[in-house]
Structure 1
């Protein structure tokens, strides 16, 4: 039985190669942009804040419209949606490669590529379910996780090399070529479900998209506007916009929560009326799926936060170029691939819950190691060890979550669950970049103000610096501070002191952001309770039917739809 199913995987290797190539490109984008931040900022004459917004909205576009993409996959057929999405993504990559300014980059990367991805990502998950069974399916999802890991591994090095010696634009040109190959060979993929024409509720799409955008945009702006107490709120007609004396951040998050509640209520009404909802809310009664999606969200929030803060530290504080940054991140990348493979092997002996919890605990350990490793001069090997441990943790998580989620339902709902995976994955990435970025930038302003006040700078100089940074502190290379100080009229000694203060402020803000990462890591442990405690998809066992309940969870009277690997 085991050899037969492994043989199926080998027989269908072109399918996983095509789907894995698309997954590789989706993940490569973010890692390339992260290590290229400082170069892109200079090239397009923009700021780190603007790049944080572009990175956030790239994943937010996907999160906001992923349910629509999954539904279109059902309506058009999953393979057709996969092909159309790949073409749209290639158009976005070409636009990004040719972008003359940050606005064009935002349109090409954050919007057009995001729109292509909302069709591709749910289709990948669903097409694996269509083309593989049993342990071959477990292995296929692990291979997709390894493809993500390979992109994380290669991204910093490819992006670093291209950015340092050629141009970051060539990476996006290469993506066009890869996606063209994906489209050319997509006919090899079997789409057993085919098209199932259905009506799409436009109001549901608008409610879900507006709700998610409102929440994440509020968090993104918290560094400027403040969370509750207004700091620097936007002005309308020359008047600060802070209704009832409360920051717009609070109001946007509350608005988003209301819109999401309205979306959920809308789905229930549609189901009760016999009309197809955008997503079956009943799926969230499945404990396994609910836990898997929550762990997935936390995993991607931590990954995005880590991949935003570390390049900022390595480039802006230490002054490393993109290639040097990629080399410093490489221990995480290589361990992610290794432990994705190890996680697949362990899945034959250990339950997904054990593997996932080991990964979560390793991520907490990695955060503590990194917390002690970051310094103004990075000389300790602890940084590399921390990155390696973080990669091991993320690799173990990546090897399990996809199969846990997709095995929670039968094949008929695989596209819908694939869409939910895409939503939680990209919402996690958006929240991670927005939240950790806001903590980092907000802590930088607070730390800088405090250190300036206790520095050896003359009082009149302190007053000049305080006035110049009253609207917030931008992330700039620490080495550029003396030049900026000289332009402000400070002498050489004062400029050197200000550079020291700014560099120390960056270190302190990074530590605050790492503490936030530790909190998220510990919190994610609470969400893994519903992950299966038994080994899934043994190659030498017959799996239960998709609608058979898990033995350790009630099913008859709690409304939960449990399924094992079909």
Structure 2
């Protein structure tokens, strides 16, 4: 047991980091009511929690090299605990955004790379494979347990107690961190601030553009932001598209900057030549896809269950339970299978199960989401995600030498959280955009008076908001419509929510297929020792 004490401590920190990505999703309607906010604001907060981590993860990994990884773990845990405390006490969405999306995110950028690097520092050989599998299983368990923990706390106590619990766990990590061994710090490293600006600004612009596309439009301007009464849509193109282009350009500048620093003999923020290693490139790509799909599922399903069916947080968590239990179970199964199957076989099996499960989910969509097929689809998706979680950490770390484990830990954090933020932003935008399109189509064919059509047009001038379907008749009556027209509007809105869920699930299937295409470099077997040099060019492919 003493041998595994380090992985238990690090696993506790990893559990909290991942838990926050799903624990609030089942509480969306409650938090919206408590803080007098909206689903769109919650989508933004969820997205920016992971986006903050993605934007500054490389900086966090580099600071871990400078300060020492154990010190980075301690400092990050303290910052994270402070953010959790602020979130628990937040009186409005602005304070919640500061505590959760910003301060917790900043703490996590120190903790997550340190966890991966400290595992590599403290274990070797088969023990290292087992330790990374355990961390992967813990991550899967956190993703799965989030809806149940959040649902129980929100229903019987308060969603705020989730964050109080996180404060307690992070204090425990700080108090036990002295038991963790580490390699020495590299205090001579200089951080290139321009690289930090390029990477952070590029990721924020890219994801923000995708996040706002539901309102501003992807390319054709819809409800553009205004400056002094003038819509902002340069050259007649949506500001969302310009933000995404700017983000891509900044990321190109970031990569060019890293190569220039290496050529000058200076320390880059990340050695981008690491991405020439086929195994690492595939492992990180699949990891990003896994987290994008997970985040998308954990956003779209709870929103429908709460806003259309009116379920509370615990009922929502129970509906997601098949995915939760299978994710935990198959994280363990994947760890056991790794003794007989290659990483490639396990990962490909998981990816094909994910595609099949997503198709089953799409076919099983009905107004109540209670059918056996829906439960089977959720279970299959969880099984696939569990298999992936059990393998990818060790696939990535085994691709490099011990000197590069901190950088790869940072890259893993970037891909995990960029995947999560893109998943929430993309799937959320598809969901809300499809809702607007479907509702407009439904209203066009509905039996409504001119007065009703004008009222609907005025109410949706800034876009169609996600609200509980049961509240539509009350809003219609307040607008002076008849009972019959109120019922017609409710039926159209409910059908639009169901249609938008189908559209978002189809986008999820496309993501799963894309992830499958990116897995060609997952190895048939892992090396028994790390390679001598991770920075020598790898064969193309």
Q: TM-score, normalised on structure 1?
A: 0.93
| Corresponding residue of 2:246 | 255
Q: Where in structure 2 are the equivalents of 1:216-365 lying within 5 Å?
A: 216-365=207-356
Q: Where in structure 2 are the equivalents of 1:441-452 lying within 5 Å?
A: 441-452=432-443
Q: Kindly provide the CA deviation profile for residues 130-177 of structure 1, in whole angstroms up to 9, marking residues without a partner as x.
A: 011112111111111111222223221221111111110011001000
1:357 CA displacement: 1.0
| Corresponding residue of 1:77 | 68
How far apart are the structure 2 equivalents of 1:197 and 1:114? 26
Q: Is the 8 A contact 1:76 1:197 kept in 2?
A: no
How far apart are the structure 2 equivalents of 1:128 and 1:350? 23
Question: Which of 481, 484, 496 is the matching residue for 1:490?
Answer: 481
Q: Is the 8 A contact 1:76 1:195 kept in 2?
A: yes
- Structure 1: runs of 5+ lacking an equivalent: 1-9, 538-542, 550-554
| Corresponding residue of 1:559 | 537
Q: 4+ residue stretches of structure 1 with deviation over 4 A?
A: none
| Corresponding residue of 1:547 | 532
- Structure 2: runs of 5+ lacking an equivalent: none
Q: Where in structure 2 are the equivalents of 1:36-435 lying within 5 Å?
A: 36-435=27-426
Tell me: CA distance 1:137–1:305, structure 2 relative to 1, closer, same or farther (3 Å).
Answer: same
Q: Where in structure 2 are the equivalents of 1:463-542 lying within 5 Å?
A: 463-534=454-525, 536=526
How far apart are the structure 2 equivalents of 1:532 and 1:367? 26
1:561 CA displacement: 9.1
1:459 CA displacement: 4.0
Q: Is the 8 A contact 2:469 2:490 kept in 1?
A: yes
1:376 CA displacement: 1.6
1:371 CA displacement: 0.9
Q: Is the 8 A contact 2:195 2:254 kept in 1?
A: yes
Secondary structure of 2:320 counterpart:
helix
Q: Is the 8 A contact 1:409 1:561 kept in 2?
A: no
Q: How many residues align?
A: 540
Secondary structure of 2:473 counterpart:
helix
Secondary structure of 1:30 counterpart:
coil
How far apart are the structure 1 equivalents of 2:533 and 2:344? 20
How far apart are the structure 2 equivalents of 1:486 and 1:456? 16
Q: Is the 8 A contact 2:402 2:530 kept in 1?
A: no
How far apart are the structure 2 equivalents of 1:154 and 1:379? 21
Q: Is the 8 A contact 1:130 1:191 kept in 2?
A: yes
More displaced stretch, 476-485 vs 94-103:
476-485
Q: Is the 8 A contact 1:232 1:471 kept in 2?
A: yes
1:384 CA displacement: 1.2
Secondary structure of 2:524 counterpart:
coil
How far apart are the structure 2 equivalents of 1:492 and 1:313? 25
| Corresponding residue of 1:34 | 25
Q: Kindly provide the CA deviation profile for residues 206-236 of structure 1, in whole angstroms up to 9, marking residues without a partner as x.
A: 1100000000000000001111110111111
Q: Kindly provide the CA deviation profile for residues 29-67 of structure 1, in whole angstroms up to 9, marking residues without a partner as x.
A: 122211100000000000000000000000000000000
Secondary structure of 2:464 counterpart:
coil
Q: Kindly provide the CA deviation profile for residues 388-427 of structure 1, in whole angstroms up to 9, marking residues without a partner as x.
A: 1010000000011100000000111000000000001100
How far apart are the structure 2 equivalents of 1:148 and 1:397? 11
| Corresponding residue of 1:15 | 6
Q: TM-score, normalised on structure 2?
A: 0.98
How far apart are the structure 1 equivalents of 2:370 and 2:424? 27
How far apart are the structure 1 equivalents of 2:483 and 2:297? 35
Secondary structure of 1:36 counterpart:
helix
How far apart are the structure 2 equivalents of 1:197 and 1:561? 32
How far apart are the structure 1 equivalents of 2:515 and 2:306? 29
How far apart are the structure 2 equivalents of 1:140 and 1:544? 15
